[in-house]
Structure 1
Amino acid sequence: MTELLIERHGPVAVLVLNRPQAMNALSQSLIRSLTAAVAALGRDETARVLVLTGAGEHAFSAGLDLKELGASSGLLGMVEGGGERPNPIRAIEQCPKPVIAAVNGVAITGGFELALACDILIAAETARFADTHQRVGVIPGWGLSQKLARIIGPSRAKEMAFSGRFVTAPEASAWGLVSRTVPPGDLMAEVLALAGEIAEVDAGFLADYKRLMNEGYDLPFGEAMALEAEWSRRHNSALAPNDLAARREGVQSKGRSR
C-alpha cells in the first residue's frame, strides 16, 4: 500500500496520509515521503495550495508509529528532535504555499503537531485532539510544548499537556485551535472550496504574506509591527497606480458576484 497519496484538483494538491489500518500513524517511510512531497510541491509552480488529510473517517494521524519506534533503539529523539532526519513539520512551515489541514478524525501527539504546522485548520465535527506525550514519557520535539500555549493560552495548553485528555472539535473551535468545524461529509468539499479561493491569489504575494505572518509571530509585538511597516513600505511603494485600480475593480466585481 502506498503510504502517501497525492491527488490534484487543478492548482490544489491534496496529500493523504494513507495508513488507515494504523490510524495513519507516521512511520519512518511516511515521514520521508511526506517531507519530500511537501518540499517538491513547494517548488511546483502548478501547485498553488496544499491540503493535508488522513485516509478514512477515524484519524487524521495518531502520531509517530510507536510500534515501529519501539523496535529501534534511540530512534525517537532522532525522529522528533534531530535535524538529521526528514522533518515534515519544518517542511510544512517552510513551504511557500498555504497548507490547509483537513482534520478528519483524531489528531494525536505527533499527528497533532503535524496539524499545528499547517497554516489553516478545518476540522470535521467528529475530530478530536490530544497531547499524549505524558503517557509515553516523551518530551515533544516538533513544537507542541511551545506552539499550543501561544494558540490557546498556557492554562488550556497545560491542561492538555498534563492530562492527555481529548479535546473535541467544538471545544477546539471555541478555543481558536481550528478555524471552523464542518459536518464530516462536507469536510473535503469545504476545504477544497477554500483552497480554490486561495489559489486565485497571486502566488508570490501569498508566499510573502505567509512569510511575513510567520516571522512576525515569532517576534515581540512591537518588533512584529515594525517588521510589517518595513515590508509594507517596500512592497506598496512598488505598486503602480493602474495595477492597483485594476485589482480594486477585480475585488469589487468578485464581491458583487457573491
Structure 2
Amino acid sequence: MSDPIIHVERDGAVAIVTLNRPEALNALNRALRMEICRVFEELKADPDIRAVVLTGSGRAFTAGVDLKEAGQTGFALGADGSDIDIAQALGAYPWPIIGAINGFAITGGFELALMCDVLLASEHAKFADTHARVGIMPGWGLSQKLSRLIGISRAKELSFTGNFLDADTAERWGLVNRVYAADELVPAARKLAHEMAGCDPVLLRGYKKMIDDGFAMPFGEALREEIRRSAAHAASVTAESVEAARKQVTERGRGLN
C-alpha cells in the first residue's frame, strides 16, 4: 500500500497536515490539489479541530504546480474547477491555518503559503515567484497578497526577477513571523496552534473572519464594519462571562512568569 499524499495528524484541537510527495518536492499535481481540498473540507466539518498546521515532507513545502502535468491539462489553475479550488478551500476554512514552511515554496507553492494566516519558517525555507520566468500568470492570489504583506516594491522585485528569498530576509521583510532550526519548526507551529485553539471558539472564528473581511475593504469601511460587528457581539456578552475570562487570562499570565 502506497503512502498517502497527505498525512493528517490530530493532536487535541490541532491538526498537522503534511504534504507528502517528497520525491516530487510536493509538487501540486491534480491529485494533491484535490486531496488538499478534501482534507480541509473534512477538517472544517470536524467539531474538535480549531487550528491547522500545514507543512511539507522532505526538502520542500511545495515546489508549486506540477508543470509536466499542467502541460497536458492546461495552465489556467485559478480556474481549475470547483472540485479542486484550493484557494477557495483554504479561504473558507474558519479556523487559523499556520504555514510551517520547511523548505522550498516556489510559485504555486508560494501562493499556497500565502493562503495561510500565519507563516513560520525553517532556516532552510526559500520562497520564489517564477511565474514571469515560466510564462504563467498567477491565479491563486499572489499578485495581490504579496504586495500587501511586504510592500509593492519588494513584491515587484521578487515577481519580476524570480529570485529566491531566504528565510532570514523573509522574516526581516515581514513575510514570516519567525525562523526556526529545521527540527524546531513543526513543534513551534504546533505550540502556536494550540495557543490559538485555546481561545474562545466563537471569538476565534469571528475575529479571523473580521480581520480577513476587513483586509479586503477600504480602511474607513473596515473600521465601520468592526464597530458594527463589535456592537452585535456585545449584546451576547455578560459581566459574569467577562469576569470568568479575565480570571483565566490572569492565571495564564501568572503561568508564563
Amino acid in structure 1 at the alignment position of 2:160 = F
The match for 1:19 among 8, 13, 21 is 21
Name 1:35's counterpart in structure 2: 37
Structure 1: runs of 5 or more not aligned: none
- The superposition leaves residues 200-238 of structure 1 with CA deviations (integer Å, 9 ceiling, x where unpaired) of 112222111111000000011111111111111111232
Q: Aligned-pair distance for 1:85?
A: 4.4
Task: Supply the AA of the counterpart residue of 2:103.
Answer: G
TM-score (normalizing by structure 2): 0.96
CA shift, 1:60, in A, is 0.2
Report if aligned partners of 1:81, 1:142 keep a CA contact under 8 Å in 2.
no
- Give the gaps of 5 or more residues in structure 2: none
1:150 paired with 2:152, answer no
Pick the aligned partner of 1:166 from 164, 167, 182: 164
Please, which of 185, 188, 191 is the counterpart of residue 190 of structure 1?
A: 188
The equivalences for 1:68-217 within 5 A come to 68-72=69-73, 75-77=74-76, 79-217=77-215
Pick from 228, 231, 239 the counterpart of residue 230 of structure 1: 228
Specify the SS of the correspondent of 2:26.
Answer: coil
CA distance in 2, matches of 1:135, 1:152: 21
Give 2:60's aligned residue: 59
Which stretch of the first structure deviates more once superposed, 226-235 or 82-91?
82-91
How far, CA to CA, are the matches of 1:150 and 1:17 in structure 2?
27
In 1, distance between residues paired with 2:81 and 2:214? 24
RMSD value over aligned CA atoms?
A: 1.1
Query: Conserved in 2, the CA contact under 8 Å of 1:42 and 1:96?
Result: yes
Same amino acid, percent of matched pairs: 44
User: Partner letter of residue 134 of structure 1?
Assistant: A
CA distance in 2 between counterparts of 1:127 and 1:81 reads 28
| Distance in 1 of aligned mates of 2:69 and 2:121 | 28
TM-score (ref. length: structure 1): 0.96
8 Å Cα contact 1:89/1:142 also seen in 2: yes
Cα displacement (A) at 1:84: 3.6
1:228 aligned partner, one-letter code: E
SS of aligned partner of 2:175: coil
**Which residue among 41, 47, 55 is the counterpart of 1:45?**
47
Residue 82 of structure 1, CA deviation: 4.0
CA shift, 1:71, in A, is 2.5
Q: Amino acid of the residue matched to residue 75 of structure 2?
A: L
Q: Which amino acid aligns with 1:130?
A: A
Structure 1 segments of 4+ aligned residues over 6 angstroms from their partners:
none
